[in-house]
Chains A and B, each alone.
Chain A
Amino acid sequence: GIQVEQSPPDLILQEGANSTLRCNFSDSVNNLQWFHQNPWGQLINLFYIPSGTKQNGRLSATTVATERYSLLYISSSQTTDSGVYFCAVEGDMRFGAGTRLTVKP
């Protein structure tokens, strides 16, 4: 099956800083999504982005399908951005191991 790797595994930021999270996948995909799991365990869909660029407020994502990677950008980070960010690919939703983000006040 498709392999999904996320980097970095852990990221600590000061409030207000920007960050870039990366997701690499081992084969062509028709479906890629980014999720946020908050410290209480709730999972929220952030983006459906098999290719191209999307933006939603302080978050944006870019997928370069031909080079098999996707990036999630977080600008002006806030403490509420803390949690784990996952990317997942394809119809059976193969998840990466996630990036744990901690934003300090």
Chain B
Amino acid sequence: NAGVTQTPKFRVLKTGQSMTLLCAQDMNHEYMYWYRQDPGMGLRLIHYSVGEGTTAKGEVPDGYNVSRLKKQNFLLGLESAAPSQTSVYFCASTLGNEQFFGPGTRLTVL
């Protein structure tokens, strides 16, 4: 049981490049979330999903897109990366009221 995994762990992009972050969970959870964490701040919700094929916007969705084609995977895409998107990205899934977090992806946009 791997829990929640994130790929990649680190990435450096140039402004304007695109990339996709992958979150996978093997716990059959319905709800999944993408957050970003900036230095000295709490997490901010980007997008979330309440089930396969569904997505919804969170607090800071601009510049990101998501897809949930399979229940176990939640993808976060950056179509044209900007330096303001430099952050640590966390994925989470929920069983009942308890959130389980992945280890994070550290993204730097130059």
Contact = CB atoms under 8 A, between A and B. Distances in A.
Interface string A41-84: 11111001000000000000000000000000000000000000
A28 interface: no
Interface in A85-103: 86, 88, 92-98
A43 B71 CA distance: 22
Interface residues of B, number: 22
Q: Is the interface of A mostly helix, strand, loop or mixed?
A: strand
A97 B40 contact: yes
Nearest to A96: B42
Contacts, number: 49
A1 interface: yes
A42 B3 CA distance: 13
Contact of B99 (A45, A92, A96): A45
A33 interface: yes
Q: Which of B44, B58, B97, B98 has the most A CB atoms < 10 Å from its CB?
A: B97
Interface of B: 33, 35, 40-45, 48, 58-59, 88, 90, 92, 96-101, 103-104
9 contacts: A35-B99, A41-B103, A41-B104, A43-B90, A92-B58, A92-B59, A93-B33, A95-B43, A96-B42
